[in-house]
Structures are given as structure tokens and as C-alpha cells.
Chain A
Amino acid sequence: SQQGEEDPQALSIQEGENATMNCSYKTSINNLQWYRQNSGRGLVHLILIRSNEREKHSGRLRVTLDTSKKSSSLLITASRAADTASYFCATDANSGNTPLVFGKGTRLSVIA
């Protein structure tokens, strides 16, 4: 199945800086979701943006969606060491009951 692709694969920043991760996908979608995974744990749902939305905020998270470019970005502002994790985008394809398709993730390291 078609996967979303996150970019970059890995990102290392200092505490307090902003972190931006990008996701590109190939099919038309109903929505796009971002998840976080701490090392050795399951994924946690962070935020969902619908195909008719362009931007969404949740606390220090800001997600944008550009359906014309089939891309999304996740911005974490004022990062903290606790934000260190892998971040995945997942697309809900606009075709019946197809399950979510996950990207390979961006590994974020926030250095205190």
C-alpha cells in the first residue's frame, strides 16, 4: 500500500527550539493524523486534520495540510527534552474502509 513519507528521518535540536517535520502522501485523503511514539512504547494519537482544513493547533503543536501538494507539516514549538520521540503521520484514504497507512516516522531528539 502507499505510505506517507516523513522528512527528515531524524532531527536533533536544542531545548527551546522549534521542530518541524514534514509528511508527503500519494492518494487523496479524508484526513491526516499525527502520532508520537516514545522509545519502545506504543503510538499515541496527537492530532487529526481533515482534508478541508488547512491548519490546526493543539497546545504547542501546529499542523498544516496542503492537499494540492499532498503534504503536511507538524510543528512543535518551544521543544522540551520530553518531546524526544518518533513522530508518524498516518493517512486516512478517501476510499471506503481502507485502514490508516503510516509513514516511517521522524526521530526527534531534543537536547537539554
Chain B
Amino acid sequence: DVKVTQSSRYLVKRTGEKVFLECVQDMDHENMFWYRQDPGLGLRLIYFSYDVKMKEKGDIPEGYSVSREKKERFSLILESASTNQTSMYLCASSLFTSGRGGQYFGPGTRLTVT
């Protein structure tokens, strides 16, 4: 079974802090994705990556950056956390480029910025 793990289930950070959210998958998938999920807004794509050292902006990249130095690891970085970045963050991976065939999600990180 595909396993996608995220570094923390719950995280509390202060405004202005630099925040790293880590995601690791064990199925050798080339494609990885970061979403945020907010009530009433569904899942919104922040960034995705089709290969090592490759990244593409999603729908809401502002205030975020990503790093993909190894195939299995995709990191989401909040350069200077703000209260409007309080959210549930979900990482996913997939075998096929567009998620065709299904995406596999991690358990999520609930981030609170105070």
C-alpha cells in the first residue's frame, strides 16, 4: 500500500515564523502535491511537482514556496507565517502526472498561526 506521511498532525506557530511542512511518500511516485483545505472552500492546490527539483504553481501559491530535493520528499515552506494561513494542509502523491489513476493523501497537518 502507498503510504504518505506528514511530519506533524498538529502545529502551532507564531506570526512571522518560518514554517516547514514535510511530506514523504514510499511508492516512488514522481508526482507530489500540496493542498490547503478550509471550510466551505474545499481543497485548493498550492504547488505541485512532477519531478525532483521541479515545481509548478497551483491556484494559491502566494505566501508559500516548496522544495523537492529528493523524489520521495516534498516540503512546503511558509516564509513568514500569517494568521490567514491557519488551515489544514494536505500532501498527496500520484503515479501519473495529473493524478490520473488516483492520488494518495497523507493524514494532514492542522496548522494554527497565532
A positions within 8 Å CB-CB of B:
1, 3, 30-31, 33, 35, 40-45, 48, 88, 90, 92-93, 96-100, 102-105
Interface contact A100-B103, CB-CB below 8 Å: yes
Tell me if B59 is interfacial: C-beta within 8 Å of chain A.
yes
Report, as a range, how many residues of chain B touch the other chain.
20 to 34
From B43, B48, B104, A45 is in contact (CB under 8 Å) with: B104
Stretch at the interface among B14-22, B67-75, B78-86, B94-102: B94-102
Report the Cα distance A99→B40, complex, angstroms. Answer: 21
Cβ of B101 and Cβ of A99 under 8 Å apart? no
Answer yes or no: B107 CB below 8 A from chain A CBs.
yes
CB-contact partner of B99 in A1, A88, A100, under 8 A = A100
Residues of A within 8 A of B102 (CB): 33, 45, 48
B59 contacts across to A, CB distance below 8 A: 1
A45 vs B110: C-alpha distance when bound (angstroms)? 21
Residue of A nearest to B44 (CB): A102
Query: Which of A1, A3, A93, A102 has the most chain B CB atoms closer than 10 A to its own CB?
Result: A102
Report the Cα distance A98→B57, complex, angstroms.
Answer: 11
Q: Is the CB of B107 within 8 A of A41?
A: yes
**Nearest chain B CB to A63 CB, angstrom units:** 14
Q: Which of B1-46 contact A (CB under 8 A)?
A: 4, 33, 35, 40-43, 45
Note all chain B residues with C-beta closer than 8 A to A30. 98, 100
